[in-house]
Structure 1
Amino acid sequence: MSLKAAVQISRRISDIGREGWEACAANPDYRGNPFVAFDFLDIAEAAGCAVERAGWGPQHLSVEDASGTVAAVMPLYLKSHSQGEYVFDHAWADAYERAGGRYYPKLISAAPFTPVTGPRMLVRPDVDREAAWRILLGGALAVCERYDASSLHVNFPTHDEWSWIGGQGISLRQGQQYHWVNAGYSSFEDFLGALSSGRRKTIRRERRDAQAEVEILALTGAEITEDHWDAFFAFYMDTGSRKWGRPYLNRLFFSLLGERMADRVLLVMARRDGRWIAGALNLIGEDCLYGRNWGCVEDVPFLHFELCYYQAIEWAIGRGLARVEAGAQGQHKIARGYLPAPVYSAHYIADPRLRAPVEDFLERERAAVNDEMEWLADEYSPFRQE
C-alpha cells in the first residue's frame, strides 16, 4: 500500500475522525490499548483537559494512502509545561533555561496524563509499518522545527517503536514500573499459592482488615452511574490536591468516560453505612487491566491495597487477562506481586549543546535502571523460590 509522503496536522483529533483513527488504533498488534482509542483522546479534548489553554495543544499527525484514506496517525501535543507526563525532564528544562535557551514549547507524543505503554505511531494493519513510521517521525521533527520547539519527546512507546526510534539517532530513556503477570492462575487463592508463606499470610490479613467494615463493588458498563462518578471525583480531587497540587482531570472528563467508554472502565468502589468512601479507576484492555486513579475520604487500613491491587488481580484472573499495570512508582507494589517492568521514552533535543550531555546522562541512567530492576526482583520478590 503506497503512502503519501506529506503528513497532515490536525488541531483536534475529531478533524481526523473516528473512522480513520480507529482503523489505525484497531491494529491487532496493539492488543486493544484503550489510551490510544479515538474516544479516550477525544474525551480529553472535549472535556478541556488536553487543549491549548491547559498547556496541551494538539498537533496530531496523519498520513494518507494513495486513495486519500487515513493509513497512520500519531498523537502529538505542543506543550507549555512538563506536567501530566510521568517522564520527568524538569532538570533538562532548568539546564536549558540557565544556558540562555527556551525549553518551552516542546512537543510530546503521548496519551495525556497516562503512564501506560502503548503505540505512539499507529499504523493500519495493511500498511507498511516502517514506511509509515518514517513519515510520521519526520513529520513530528518538522513540526518541532516549525514551532521552534526545544525538543520532541515520545513517552511510553512500545519496545519496537523505541528501538526503531533509537536507530534514527534519537536518544533513548528507560524507566521502570511494577506490573502483575498472570501465570495462568485459576483464582486469587491460586495466585497466593505461588507466594512465600509469609507473604500469603500478610496479604490475607490485609484483605481481611480492609474488608472488615466496608462493602466493595467492582462496577463496569451500565452499572456505573453519575452518582458513582460524583463520589469518585471527590476522591480524585482529594488525592490530587494532596499529592500533586494540581489535578489534571475535571468532572466532565469522568462523565464523558462513563458515557462513551463505560464498557472499558472498571470502577472499584468502597462504601461504609451507605456512603462511598474510596474508589479506584481502571481501564480495560484486550489483555491487560490498567490501574489509573485512586482516592478516599476516609482512612481505612489496607483499603488502598485492596481496591488498587488485590481487587485488580482478582478481576484480571476472573477474565483471563495477561497482566495488571498499576501505574507509576511505588516499590510497595512488589510485596503485592507486582514486579519491576521496563518502560521507555525517546527524546530529540534540538540544540546540540544540550543533546550531548542528555545522551550521556541517559546512557548511564539506563544501566542504573536495569541494575535496580534486577536487584529489586532478586531481593524483594514475594514469590516462592523454586
Structure 2
Amino acid sequence: MGKHNIVKVDMASGSRSYNRFELQTSQSLHMALQLYDEVNFLLIMDHYDDITIFDLDSEPLAVSYYQVKTSNHTVTIDSVIKNEWISKLYEQLKRPNDWIVREIGLITNMPISVKFDVPTEKGKTIHRSDDLTAPKTEFSSLYQTVQDKIKADISAKCNIPVENIDISKFAHLHTTLTIERHRDLVEHEMTNFLYDKYPEIKIDTVKAIYRSVVEILTRQQSNERIPANASFEDVKKYKGFSKGEFKRIIDRAILFSIPEIEDVLKYIGIGMRDKESMPVGWAYSRIISDSGKRGNESFSALFRNTIEKIRIKPYKGIGSPWEYAHEIEQEVIKNDPMLCVPYTDDYISVLVICLMINISRAQISLSKDSNQ
C-alpha cells in the first residue's frame, strides 16, 4: 500500500475546537456501532479526513470520507457553500487513491436549511424551503437548482469544468448526537447494542467497555506523531480503530466479569439450598471481593493462568462442568504451586466455572492474547 497525503481540512471552521473534537469521537463510536454487524471496518481518526472508514481492516478495497461540523443553530446551504465545506470534501476525489471511494459525507449536528426557487408552468417562481433532517440525504436527491449551485461552487474552487463535477457519492448525514449530550447519547446507544447481543451482561461491564473504546478513540484522534505522508500501515497503527479491536475489548471485558452466584450454581448443577452450595458460595464471595480490589497482582496472575489452561484444554462436554473445573484447577496448581497457596481448591474451581459461563455466553474464542 502506498503513501497518501491527507487533504487539508478546514481548521479555521473549528476542526480542533473542543466541541467538535469531542463530538467527533462520539460520532465515530456511533458509526462503529452501526457498522459492527455489517462490515469488518477500520476507522481512521482525524488523518485523511475527520473520520475515514475503510470496508476492511486489512488490504481494504473501498473507503468513505467524512467531515464533522458543529453548530448551535440550523445551517443554511448557502453558508455550507460559502465556508467551502463541500469543495474541500471534493478534494478527496482529485487525489490518487488505492481505494474505491464509496461515500463522501458532511456530518452536522443541526439540520441544513435549503432554500430554492421552483418555476411554475405559468412562468412564475415559487420560493421553497426544506430542512435536511433525515439521517442521510444524498446530494443527488436535492432539487436540481441546488445541485447546480453546489457544482458551480466546486467548479470555481477546484478549477474543474462544471460538466465534469460528480456529486453522486456525496451525502449529508444529520447525526442524532448533540453538543451538550453526545457522550450520554452514544453511551446509551452502546448499552442497548451490548444488551441486545449479550442479555446477561452486567452494567459495570458495559461501562468498562464504553470507557475503553472512548479512551482508544480519543488517543488515536489526538495522536499527532504521525506525518501526513505516512504509510497506510502506520496510519492504521497510530490513528486506527477496527472492528476486530472493538470485539477484543468486548470479549475481554465479558471474560473478566464475574457472573451472578445463581448462574454459577445452576451451571454446576447445585441448588441454592443444597449443602454443596456453601463452599461454592464462600469461594464465590471471595472471588467477588478479590476482583474488585485494584492492584491485586496475585488475583490477576491467577486469572491469567486459569484462562491459559482453559485455552490449552477447552471443555468438550466430557464429564460435568464441575469435574472439568477441578481438572483445570489441578493444572493451575501444578503450573505454579506458590501462586495458588492463598487460594483454596474450590476457589480456583469456581473461578473456572465463572470463565466457562462467560466464554459460553459471549461465544468467546480464546487466543494467546485473551488474558493480556
**TM-score relative to the length of structure 2:** 0.26
Larger Rg: 2
Structure ranking higher in helix proportion? 2
Structure ranking higher in strand proportion? 1
**TM-score relative to the length of structure 1:** 0.25
- Relative contact order: is structure 1 or structure 2 higher (C-alpha 8 Å, sep ≥ 6)? 1
